[in-house]
Amino acid sequence: MSVALLIAYRNRENHLKTLINWASGLGYFESPDFEFILVEQSNSPSCQNMCLEYGIKYHHVCDNGIFHKSRLLNIGLNLSNAEFIAPFDIDLVPIKDSLKMHLAIASKYKDSLLWDIG
């Protein structure tokens, strides 16, 4: 079971560094169960190299107007190869390894998850 964390991003470099430190410290980037996808909206790419260094899928949308979070999340959804997706806010860092705990619970109780809503 795998989950993609979709991150809509704009000009939050300190938050991104904090998230990367948290995720790398817990081995999330090395785990096949987690896929990080960051979609940045800005005039020019600002964090592509940092994302690529950690294996975060990266996509840039050239637009410095109104921040369209849902549009960015939809782009991230199309880039995902994971079984499940979760929108993820760049400024919220989970407690310890709670994402692994949530994934373990979801794996154990698959009957309670939505598989096909089409």
Instruction: Tell whether 118 is covered by a domain.
Output: no
Identify the CATH number of the domain in which residue 101 sits: 3.90.550.10
55 within some domain: yes
User: Residue 13 domain-assigned?
Assistant: yes
Strands 3-9 vs 57-62: parallel, antiparallel or unpaired? unpaired
Structural domains of the chain, count? 1
- Separation in Å, CA 71 to CA 21, 27, 36, 58, 59: 27, 29, 17, 15, 12
Q: Is residue 117 part of a domain?
A: no
Residue 68 lies in a domain: yes
pLDDT tens digits, 42-92:
999 999 999 999 999 999 999 888 889 999 999 999 999 988 888 888 887
Q: 3-class DSSP state for residue 106?
A: helix
What is the domain range of residue 62?
A: 3-112
Tell me: pLDDT of 113 over 70.
no
Q: How confident is the model at residue 13 (pLDDT cuts 50, 70, 90)?
A: very high
